[in-house]
Amino acid sequence: MPTFISWNIDSINAAVEHKSPRGEMTWATLQHLAELAPDVLAIQETKLRPTGLTKKQAAALDELFPEYHRYLNFSTARTGYSGTMMLTKTEPLSVTMPEIGAPGEMDQEGRIITLEFPNAFVSTVYTPNSGRELARLEDRQAWDKAYTTYIDSLNAEKPVIFSGDFNVAHEEIDLKNPKTNHHSAGFTDEERADFTDLLKAGYIDTFRTLHPEATGVYTWWSQIAKQSKVNNAGWRIDYYLISNQLGDKLVSLDVIDTGARQDHAPIQLVLKDFSLN
């Protein structure tokens, strides 16, 4: 059964250098993902320079994932910002770093990679955050609409498996403190409605489909709030979505334990009776 893992790493360099306690935890998580050996690994927020991986970073990834094909999309708008990476055991038919007609510099921030295989597209996304005081909310809404149109264009050809940090908790059940965060970036009515529209266009939230009533399952805990992980005051903002026609292939969607590390946790999707080829 093919397995897929997605993770917002919050800096490949911090993981590879692992010079701080948090960096050590990030590196340990990356090592664990290598041991799990998914068919496809999607990484968001690589924070690489436009020149790409350093020799040390490339060597570290080569050692951890020696049998994988590697693809990276860098931010050319701001150095060391955003960025995505995908690792796959199977060489894809094509690789696309699309521009979707998003506002401002969003299309230059390395936010999407799409791999085409004979039986599906596999894509990852790092969705823009609406920012402090929701300064970027209008642009974020434009992104959401453009992104849905883009995914629909893929889905018109073949099924899509897409993952990433979508920067939205869809329903109140998807975060610990919905009432106090109602007007916070990632839980506005506008962002939640856009996510609803995306699902209605023909896609499945794999975790919520499997666990419709599950509470206390999150993928992100604030680094600023010192006790967020201890108190499980988290948000579920990382998703694997799949085209409706793949619904009968769905086996599991799990959040991978990262111990005391705050920020994002990886998520793992398993499908059955399905091959990328």
Distance between CA 251 and CA 273 in Å, rounded?
10
Q: Is 8 annotated among the ligand-binding residues? A: yes
Q: Is 165 annotated among the ligand-binding residues? A: yes
Radius of gyration of the chain measured on its C-alpha atoms: 17
Q: Is 13 annotated among the ligand-binding residues? A: no
CB 174 within 8 A of CB 234: no
Does residue 147 carry a catalytic annotation?
no
Distance between CA 64 and CA 254 in Å, rounded?
22
Q: Bridge-partner residues for 99, per DSSP?
A: none
CB 64 within 8 A of CB 34: yes
> Which tokens in the block code for residue 275?
């091959």
CB 266 within 8 A of CB 258: yes
> Which tokens in the block code for residue 245?
């026609």
Q: Is 167 annotated among the ligand-binding residues? A: yes
Does residue 152 carry a catalytic annotation?
no
| Options 165, 174, 194, 205, the catalytic residue | 165
- Residue 46's contacts (CB-CB under 8 Å, 6 or more residues apart) are 9, 11, 12, 72, 74, 82, 83, 84, 85, 110
- Residue 214's contacts (CB-CB under 8 Å, 6 or more residues apart) are 173, 207
CB 263 within 8 A of CB 10: yes
Distance between CA 215 and CA 255 in Å, rounded?
13
Does residue 264 carry a catalytic annotation?
yes
| Options 18, 39, 71, 126, the catalytic residue | 126
Residue with tokens 């050692």: 63
Distance between CA 255 and CA 219 in Å, rounded?
7
Annotated binding site: 8, 45, 165, 167, 263-264
Annotated binding site for Mg(2+): 8, 45, 165, 167, 263-264
- Catalytic positions: 126, 165, 264
